[in-house]
């Protein structure tokens, strides 16, 4: 048996020692306390060891949100195995390609994803018999781990080509939790509903930090706005985290006006800028809103903003977290002036180790200790940061830089717009022009020319998209992000 590491990385064990009977995770109608949560992780660690899983080997899960996701995360420090979840939205052929890349030693899956799991060829086990499978195995030997050993491999968005696996060491998870608890002011009496997919880095936004501070997490198997509102109330949640598209459908749900949100201290939006109408809908219910920013490669949380400042500057993400550094840079690496748009770079112990077996992509992203995020940002004279958009999403029309996020903000103010996305597409005269895809609000008739006129009153003419598509729904990823590449691909196929 290996000797215990001098660095105490076993979060489940430490929390069980500190507050064994405190409620930790709500799952399928019942609360699981920290003592029981640790015991589950111990059983899983023993089972994985009995199955031949050794330190450094990947264990994957292909399932909707399930308690097994949290068991696997907490069992990593007890086994040295690496949590490597798969994206449930991918097709079987894509799952096979990801499995060939990550080479997991074991794959857990639910009934809905049996076909995708089978296609991988990986040794697998169905979650329908999960508790019986855990059994009561002998304890696993305690692994000798350091803060720089890998704990998770989380897949990046993968909107084009095969997703990359971002290797997250224990150091990243611990510093992200410290940053979040201290900079966002999390408390042991706080709770949230984990409704975003557990396979996504958003599990590190509130769920893992709350487990560090001794808070409560209600795990929702699948996102449904009415079920989410019910879980928020029944679990006494005090914090909310969703992506903008999810907040929007919650605000539009019939249960929203009567839902008791009085215990919510604040809500934070991640993944993309949250439209003003959505923020206003929650403000009308007494819920104060923050705009967050993060990415898989950086923890996931990077900035903090005071609630009063967030109200006065709703488009700002605030200032870097306590243990984080940020700089907006020009392509040559020099720092931008206040108000100048450049690429956001980040530094600190909350950064990932690199992309799994992708040295070229790692070298491009990590340079001299700084992560080049690919996101465009600016910093005002008071030090507040604003995210302008993705560097790859910016397009040049007639020699002018166009930022889709700016156009989308203006579109969201139109009373007939439910959701929208803007992307650059090729144009013979201007090089590139905008394509706006809009989902109208239910029961509201809007036309493309009406929307273009709305934008012409608010933006420079070169920013007004030339093309309009009115759709029933926007394509989204498993994490709820709009897949703009799909919109551009569909347009190119139409216009060939």
Please give the model's pTM, rounded to 2 decimal places.
0.83
Ranking 193-197, 377-381, 467-471, 487-491 by mean pLDDT, the lowest is 487-491
The pLDDT tens digits for 424-439 are 998 877 878 999 999 9
- pLDDT over 70, % of the chain: 97
Q: How far is CA 252 from each of CA 145, 279, 408, 441, 442, rounded to the nearest angstrom?
A: 47, 12, 19, 10, 10
**DSSP per-residue codes, 188-248:** TT-EEEE-S-TTSGGGGTTHHHHHHHT-EEEE-SS--HHHHHHHHHHTT--EEEE-HHHHH
The pLDDT tens digits for 230-262 are 999 999 999 999 988 889 899 999 999 999 999
Stretch (H or E) spanning 269:
strand 266-269
Asked if residue 7 has pLDDT above 60, the reply is no
* Strand 324-329, strand 342-348: pairing: antiparallel
**How far apart are the C-alpha atoms of 62 and 110, rounded to whole Å?**
7
* Strand 366-367, strand 370-379: pairing: antiparallel
* Strand 316-320, strand 303-304: pairing: antiparallel
Is residue 123 a contact partner of residue 107, using CB atoms and an 8 Å limit? yes
Ranking 12-26, 45-59, 324-338, 480-494 by mean pLDDT, the lowest is 480-494
In sequence order, the 6+-apart residues with CB closer than 8 A to the CB of 14 are 8
**How far apart are the C-alpha atoms of 423 and 449, rounded to whole Å?**
18
Instruction: Tell whether the torsion through CA atoms of 338, 342, 344 and 345 is positive or negative.
Output: negative
Asked if residue 325 has pLDDT above 80, the reply is yes
Asked if residue 8 has pLDDT above 90, the reply is no
Is residue 251 a contact partner of residue 282, using CB atoms and an 8 Å limit? yes
Q: Write down all domains in the chain, each with its CATH number in brackets.
A: 11-379 (3.40.50.12780), 393-494 (3.30.300.30)
Q: What are 293's two structure tokens? A: 């920013």
- Averaged confidence pLDDT in the chain: 92
Closest CA to 392 of 432, 428, 360, 429: 432
Around Cβ 248, how many Cβ atoms within 10 Å? 21
Give the pLDDT band of residue 158 (cuts 50, 70, 90).
very low
């Amino acid at each position: 048996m290996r000797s215990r590491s001098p660095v105490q990385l076993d979060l489940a064990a430490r929390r069980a020692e500190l507050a064994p009977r405190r409620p930790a995770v709500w799952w399928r109608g019942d609360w699981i306390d920290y003592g029981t949560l640790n015991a589950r992780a111990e059983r899983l660690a023993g089972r994985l060891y009995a199955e031949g899983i050794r330190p450094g080997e990947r264990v994957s899960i292909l399932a909707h949100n399930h308690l097994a996701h949290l068991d696997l995360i907490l069992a990593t420090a007890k086994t040295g195995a690496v949590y490597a979840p798969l994206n449930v939205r991918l097709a079987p052929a894509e799952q096979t390609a990801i499995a060939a890349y990550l080479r997991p030693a074991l794959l857990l899956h639910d009934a809905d994803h049996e076909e995708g799991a089978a296609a991988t060829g990986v040794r697998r086990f169905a979650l329908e018999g999960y508790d019986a499978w855990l059994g009561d195995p002998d304890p696993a030997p305690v692994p000798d781990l350091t803060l720089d050993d890998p704990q998770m491999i989380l897949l990046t968005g993968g909107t084009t080509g095969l997703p990359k696996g971002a290797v997250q060491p224990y150091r990243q998870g611990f510093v992200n939790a410290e940053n979040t608890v201290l900079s966002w002011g999390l408390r042991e009496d706080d709770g949230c509903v984990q409704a975003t997919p557990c396979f996504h880095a958003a599990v590190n936004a509130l769920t893992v930090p709350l487990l560090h501070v001794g808070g409560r997490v209600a795990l929702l198997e699948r996102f449904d706005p009415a079920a989410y509102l019910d879980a928020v109330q029944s679990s006494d949640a005090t914090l909310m985290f969703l992506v903008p598209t999810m907040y929007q459908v919650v605000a539009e749900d019939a249960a929203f006006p009567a839902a008791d949100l009085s215990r919510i201290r604040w809500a934070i939006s991640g993944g993309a800028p949250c439209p003003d109408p959505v923020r206003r809908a929650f403000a009308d219910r007494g819920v104060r809103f923050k705009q967050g920013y993060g990415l898989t490669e950086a923890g996931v949380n990077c900035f903090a903003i005071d609630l009063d400042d967030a109200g006065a500057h709703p488009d700002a993400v605030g200032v870097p977290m306590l243990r984080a550094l940020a700089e907006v840079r020009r392509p040559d690496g020099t720092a931008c002036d206040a108000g100048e748009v450049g690429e956001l770079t980040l530094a600190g112990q909350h950064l990932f180790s690199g992309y799994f077996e992708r040295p070229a992509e790692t070298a491009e992203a990590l340079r001299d200790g700084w992560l080049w995020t690919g996101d465009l940002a600016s910093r005002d004279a008071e030090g507040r940061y604003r995210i302008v958009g993705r560097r790859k999403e910016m397009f040049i029309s007639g020699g002018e830089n166009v930022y889709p996020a700016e156009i989308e903000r203006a579109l969201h103010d139109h009373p007939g717009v439910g959701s929208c996305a803007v992307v650059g597409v090729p144009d013979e005269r201007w090089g590139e022009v905008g394509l706006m895809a809009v989902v109208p609000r239910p029961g509201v008739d809007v036309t493309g020319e009406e929307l273009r006129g709305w934008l012409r009153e608010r933006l420079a003419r070169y920013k007004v998209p030339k093309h309009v598509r009115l759709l029933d729904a926007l394509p989204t990823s498993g994490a709820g992000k709009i897949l703009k590449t799909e919109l551009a691909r569909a347009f190119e196929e139409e216009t060939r």
